């Protein structure tokens, strides 16, 4: 938490936070208009955020408000106002009042501000805030901002706080000669902030100012539902053979990645099981690789291969146990076991974990392998792993102590152990490969828990890079004809470059790496829902609960799909160029943690669906998974610290 984010701030502390915002977020990033800087330093942003968010008012980010909307990042407000070059006597139109904050800042600069908000509840709340601050030069109405405010035109400046695929002609018509229209425009998932200057009755000059991300204009939201109804294919019930047959179109791919919008939804598990089983039977897929740790998945792999002494019940004992210890997944494992029963070893389907959290299990697996094959090497491995031994049960603690110089040598030791195992390949290929992958996991996990405490994108990128590299090594080990189905969360499966995580936070993921490596030989398939129930916890190591999934927020992909009226559908976006499908909108992400009370901030991010995925599977209403056991056992969560 930053220095501005402390509870119970006084007016004087808020004033100091505004000064710091102006200096750190605005002036240092190129905002130089003295009128803009002065106004931003005077308007109390804390008065425009919902109760409970005041302490975050001066963070360098957008904040959620009612109706699924946001109050824009301070820098973006300043950038647009500076681009508008407002004067003391200007008449300004703002499209998208939201909380009223940007209008208040503009009102401190210009002579008269007219602002329009299409959500009635937002309009009423913004009007009350502006009135409370005594801003009498601002007029606000509820309505469609794309039509402008004709009776108040012409305007010296028009500011639009939502992205349009095209620039509404009505707004251009209402510009005065010399007037400036500042508007974000979106095409195929990319949005650019533009300045349109009217130089004559029919003459306009256009400039591009910056790459941005805004919610869509209402006219685009309305057209999206029409596109979805025309594009989405209704799907039969999950138990019908024709459900899985709808995915035959992806049967020729080398890798099919199947996502999920939560880690606790029954329909997602059952749908992926049906699709995967069909791809195995009809299209020769022989690898199932999942967002789970290698040693836990290895226990399942031994069981479905009918290995002597295999015990899959020993796997996935740590929080969140319901993610893999559920009735839906258990049924899929039994199906894999039956499929493999009469097949020779080289034709059996393999089940593998891609993730890196079970450091303790992987260390034990490496030592067990070396104890059998080379006791001398096992002794050396125990010495090398000695620096990790105290932290095996809680490796996050290792991450903290590793920040000191005394633990930095541990990295060299675990990397040396990993290199040694990869250089000693024996005739016992499967056993060696298992040990080598466990050694890789330990090395990756050691680095992951070290960099986690520095923040930023590095730890996420390390984790997803590890998962993708594990996938490619499995494919290589299984041979050139092998084909893989991957199960992971949408945040890992959808191409990160076309989401907020990649565009704004510099994060990559498995989906992006798969497209870069396999090209058209990879299919990225997301899953989503509008409402129902989900198995999730409220906090780390918390109790598993069946939680109600709220209906999706307005302006989200989920809300648009719900409005399409289809209960179950497949949206195949391969090769489609519909602008409405390629624009950025809110998308919901629920991990093992679900907090409905802070849903907009905790679980939504912008994404351009048609570029993020090749296809999207929709279930309007969904239900929680059924755990195999009622208790969620304590320990480091498989998905710590992200929940995805």
Residues labelled as active-site residues: 72
3-state DSSP assignment of residue 532: strand
Determine the Cα–Cα distance for residues 406 and 48; give it in Å rounded to an integer: 48
Count CB neighbours of 90 within 10 A.
Answer: 20
Q: Which residues pair with 288 in a beta bridge?
A: 351, 485
* 204, containing H or E segment: strand 204-212
Which residues contact residue 528 at a Cβ distance below 8 angstroms, ignoring those fewer than 6 apart?
261, 490, 557, 558, 561, 587, 588, 616, 617, 618, 619
Q: What one-character-per-residue DSSP string does 548-592 give?
A: EEPPPPTTBHHHHHHHTT-SEEEEE-TT---HHHHSEEEEE---S
- Alpha helix locations (H) across 43-168? 74-84, 101-107, 120-132
Q: What gap in Å lies between CA 496 and CA 216, rounded to an integer?
A: 20
* DSSP codes, 364-406: HHHHHHHHHH-HHHHHHHHHHGGGTGGGSS-HHHHHHHTTSGG
On whether the CB atoms of residues 293 and 353 are closer than 8 A, the answer is yes
Q: Residue 258 corresponds to which tokens in the numbers above?
A: 């199947």
Q: Considering only CA atoms, which of 122, 135, 126, 22 is closest in space to residue 82?
A: 22
C-alpha–C-alpha distance, residues 67 and 554, integer Å: 6
- 3-state helix, strand, coil split of the chain in percent (to 5) is 45, 20, 30
Map tokens 């039956």 to a residue.
338
Task: Give the separation between CA 431 and CA 438, rounded to whole angstroms.
Answer: 11
Place of tokens 């601050």: 133
Distance from C-alpha of 625 to C-alpha of 326, rounded to nearest angstrom: 6
- Tokens representing 11? 């007016």
- Give the count of alpha carbons within 13 A of 526, CB side only: 29
Q: In this structure, are residues 259 and 587 in contact, taking their beta carbons and an 8 Å threshold?
A: no
State the Cα–Cα distance between residues 399 and 401, nearest whole angstrom.
Answer: 6
CA atoms of 138 and 100, how far apart (whole Å): 10
Alpha-carbon span 256 to 275, nearest angstrom: 10
N-terminal to C-terminal alpha carbon distance within the chain: 22
Q: Which residue has the tokens 């229209």?
A: 181
Query: How far is CA 501 from its chain centroid?
Result: 6
Strand spans (E) along 48-162: 63-64, 70-71, 91-95, 112-117, 138-142, 155-160
Q: With beta carbons less than 8 A apart as the criterion, state whether 279 and 251 touch.
A: yes
Distance CA 97, CA 206 (A): 24
For residue 88, with 0-12 CB atoms within 10 Å meaning exposed, 13-18 middle and 19 or more buried, which class applies? exposed
């Amino acid at each position: 938490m930053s220095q501005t984010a402390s509870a119970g701030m006084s007016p004087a502390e808020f004033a100091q936070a505004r000064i710091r915002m102006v200096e750190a977020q605005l002036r240092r990033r190129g905002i130089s208009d003295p009128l803009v800087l002065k106004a931003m330093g005077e308007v109390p942003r804390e008065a425009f955020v919902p109760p409970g968010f005041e302490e975050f008012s001066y963070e360098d980010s957008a904040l959620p408000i009612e109706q699924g909307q946001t109050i824009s990042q301070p820098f973006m407000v300043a950038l647009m106002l500076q681009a508008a070059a407002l004067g003391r006597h200007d008449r300004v139109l703002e499209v998208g009042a939201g909380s009223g904050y940007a209008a208040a800042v503009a009102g401190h600069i210009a002579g008269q501000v007219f602002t329009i908000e299409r959500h009635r509840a937002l309009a009423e709340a913004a009007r009350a805030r502006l009135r409370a601050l005594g801003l009498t030069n601002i007029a606000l109405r509820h309505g469609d901002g794309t039509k402008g405010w004709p009776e108040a035109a012409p305007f010296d400046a028009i500011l639009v706080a939502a992205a349009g695929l095209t620039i509404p002609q009505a707004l251009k018509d209402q510009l005065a000669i010399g007037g400036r229209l500042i508007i974000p425009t979106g095409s195929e998932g990319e949005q650019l902030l533009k300045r349109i200057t009217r130089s004559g009755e029919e003459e306009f000059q256009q400039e591009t100012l910056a790459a941005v991300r805004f919610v869509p204009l209402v006219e685009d939201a309305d057209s999206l539902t029409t596109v979805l109804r025309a594009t989405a294919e209704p799907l039969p019930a999950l138990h019908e053979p024709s459900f899985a047959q709808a995915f035959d179109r992806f049967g020729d791919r080398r890798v099919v990645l199947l996502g999920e919008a939560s880690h606790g939804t029954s329909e997602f598990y059952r749908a992926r099981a049906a699709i995967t089983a069909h791809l195995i039977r009809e299209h020769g897929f022989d690898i199932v690789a999942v967002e789970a740790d290698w040693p836990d998945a290895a226990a399942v792999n031994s069981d479905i291969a009918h290995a002597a002494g295999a015990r899959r019940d020993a796997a996935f004992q740590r929080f969140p146990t319901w993610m893999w210890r559920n009735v839906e997944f258990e049924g899929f494992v039994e199906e894999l076991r039956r499929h493999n029963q009469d097949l020779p070893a080289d034709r059996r389907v393999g089940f593998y974990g891609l993730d890196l959290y079970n450091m303790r299990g992987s260390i034990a697996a490496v030592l067990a392998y070396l104890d059998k094959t080379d006791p001398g090497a096992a002794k050396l491995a125990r010495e090398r792993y000695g620096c990790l031994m105290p932290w095996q049960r809680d490796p996050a603690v290792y991450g903290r102590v590793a920040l000191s110089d005394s633990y930095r040598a541990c990295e060299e030791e675990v990397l040396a152990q990993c290199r040694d195992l990869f250089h000693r390949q024996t005739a016992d290929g499967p056993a060696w490969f298992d040990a080598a992958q466990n050694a890789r996991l330990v090395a990756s996990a050691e680095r992951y828990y070290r960099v986690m405490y520095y923040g930023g994108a590095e730890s996420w990128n390390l984790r997803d890079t590890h998962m993708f590299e594990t996938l490619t090594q499995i494919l290589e080990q299984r041979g050139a004809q092998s084909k893989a189905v991957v199960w992971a969360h949408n945040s890992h499966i959808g191409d990160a470059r076309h989401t907020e995580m990649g565009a704004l936070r510099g994060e990559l993921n498995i989906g992006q790496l798969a497209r870069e490596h396999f090209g058209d030989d990879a299919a990225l398939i997301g899953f989503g829902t509008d409402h129902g129930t989900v198995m999730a916890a409220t906090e780390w190591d918390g109790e598993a609960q069946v939680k109600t999934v709220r209906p999706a927020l307005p302006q989200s992909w989920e809300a648009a799909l719900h409005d399409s009226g289809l209960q179950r559908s497949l949206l195949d976006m391969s090769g489609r160029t519909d602008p409405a499908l390629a624009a950025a909108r809110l998308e919901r992400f629920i991990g093992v943690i679900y907090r409905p009370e802070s849903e907009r901030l905790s679980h939504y991010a912008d994404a351009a669906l048609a570029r993020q995925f090749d296809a999207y599977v929709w279930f309007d209403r969904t239900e929680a998974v059924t755990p195999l056991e009622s208790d969620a056992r304590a320990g480091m969560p498989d998905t710590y610290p992200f929940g995805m």
